[in-house]
Amino acid sequence: DAGITQSPRHKVTETGTPVTLRCHQTENHRYMYWYRQDPGHGLRLIHYSYGVKDTDKGEVSDGYSVSRSKTEDFLLTLESATSSQTSVYFCAISGGRFDEQYFGPGTRLTVT
Partner 1 sequence: DAKTTQPNSMESNEEEPVHLPCNHSTISGTDYIHWYRQLPSQGPEYVIHGLTSNVNNRMASLAIAEDRKSSTLILHRATLRDAAVYYCILSSSGGGADGLTFGKGTHLIIQP
**Of 2, 10, 1, 24, whose CA–CA distance to 88 is shortest?**
10
CB closer to partner 1, 5 vs 80: 5
Contact status, residue 107 vs residue 89, Cβ threshold 8 Å: yes
User: Does residue 23 bind partner 1 (CB under 8 A)?
Assistant: no
CB closer to partner 1, 73 vs 108: 108
User: Does residue 97 bind partner 1 (CB under 8 A)?
Assistant: yes
**Of 29, 15, 41, 38, whose CA–CA distance to 92 is shortest?**
29
CA pair distance 12, 109, nearest whole angstrom: 6
Rule CB under 8 A: which of 27-86 touch partner 1? 31, 33, 35, 40-45, 48, 50, 56-59
Q: Which residues bind partner 1 (CB under 8 A)?
A: 31, 33, 35, 40-45, 48, 50, 56-59, 90, 92, 97-98, 100-106
